[in-house]
Amino acid sequence: MKHYYYAIKFISGRSTTTGTPNTKTGRMSVACRLVAFKSSHERDLWVADGRATYDMSGNCREAITRRGLRHKCLGMSVSCFNDLVEGLKTELE
């Protein structure tokens, strides 16, 4: 089993939400771009290269676990989230 490393890039602030609320929970997803990497070194280089946006201080990118990704995508159903993560992995193949 291959291990993947994940990171996110915030679109316009760490607490900005997007999309429609989850029909069961009412929660929304955080506005961010999800990225998968094959190595932690590659991910860490990508995170270090982040640039701050106008409403954030510091780096607008951060390393994150798969579990952490789920907490950023609460507007999605679990099956949609799993499909999204599998799509990120297949982009690397």
Render pLDDT for 13-42 as a digit per residue (tens, 0 to 9): 788 888 889 988 899 999 899 999 999 999
Tell me which residue of 61, 13, 19, 56 sits closest to 37, measured CA to CA: 61
Query: Which pTM value belongs to this model?
Result: 0.83
Using left for φ > 0, alpha for ψ between -120 and 50, and beta otherwise, residue 58 falls in left
Chain segment 38-68, per-residue pLDDT in tens: 999 999 999 988 766 555 556 688 999 999 9
Element (H, E) at 42: helix 40-48
Q: What's the domain count of the chain?
A: 1
Q: Give the structural domain span for 78.
A: 5-92
What is the DSSP secondary structure assignment for residue 22, as one 8-state letter? P
Task: Report which secondary-structure segment, H or E, holds 29.
Answer: strand 29-30
